A = this chain, B = another copy of it.
């Protein structure tokens, strides 16, 4: 992992933890409005995650309204789960508008690798829109570079480590950080990398935790122009809330509710103390 000390000062980890706290406080203060064009399975949960963390959510995917929404929202999340031809067009149209306004666009390539259709759609979006951050699981990230072997639906068939090199190539190619999430999240850009050690095993037993991590990154990207640290601190915030929820949950059903409670109640200073990031 490349040191990020050069960019972050003498004590990168302490400054990252401080930044996590700062970013969460700023989200609560600014209440960024995150616009999602997203899949039907997890949109309720992702909207609730944004509200619980103190941000605001709008889902709008009609061609007639996505560009106008770019004028009021602060960030755009494109999620290719349960895609349709029409929706891909709306995503590109919207993405270009957010690019014009210099507002961050985050891509979540759900199921890329599992379906050629989604892989191609994600690549098409990458060619047409300037993406600020990509977040996916290992199989999804690998598929964006052409490795379509071995994905198991929307769950990953690869460990995070297997996709880190691909993530770095991709990050270099698009000039933006790429986050590979899993038991240990890893975010890389062309020259740096951060690993997040927070999280909880029950996260993979609830649908939408990946999608929800992406919208959380969207909210943090509004308050932190360094998109590498925006992504890392959002994932740390997510992981810490997962750990708090895991202490209270009896299984995935109570975990999902406890997670929203934890995200809502998480204090910036608690995040600073509990987050574990490695550069």
Residues of A within 8 A of B (CB): 33, 35, 39-45, 47-48, 51-52, 56-62, 64-65, 68-69, 72-73, 81-85, 111, 114-118, 151-155, 204-208, 249-254, 256-265
Inter-subunit contact B62/A41 (CB<8 Å): no
Give the residues in chain B near A59, CB-CB below 8 Å: 39-41, 81-82
B44, B72, B117: the one within 8 Å of A44 (CB): B44
Inter-subunit contact A253/B52 (CB<8 Å): yes
Inter-subunit contact B250/A58 (CB<8 Å): no
Give the residues in chain B near A204, CB-CB below 8 Å: 51
Nearest-CB residue, chain B, relative to A260 = B253
Inter-subunit contact A118/B65 (CB<8 Å): yes
Give the residues in chain B near A261, CB-CB below 8 Å: 249-254
Nearest-CB residue, chain B, relative to A40 = B40
Nearest-CB residue, chain B, relative to A261 = B251
Inter-subunit contact B252/A117 (CB<8 Å): no
Beyond A56-B155, A73-B153, A256-B257, 19 additional contacts (C-beta under 8 Å) are: A39-B59, A41-B43, A44-B44, A48-B207, A48-B256, A51-B204, A52-B205, A57-B154, A58-B114, A59-B81, A60-B111, A61-B82, A65-B115, A250-B261, A250-B265, A251-B261, A251-B263, A252-B264, A256-B260
Inter-subunit contact A51/B206 (CB<8 Å): yes
Q: Within the assembled complex, what's the spacing in Å between the Cα atoms of A69 and B261?
A: 36
Nearest-CB residue, chain B, relative to A84 = B62
Give the residues in chain B near A118, CB-CB below 8 Å: 65
Give the residues in chain B near A205, CB-CB below 8 Å: 51-52, 264
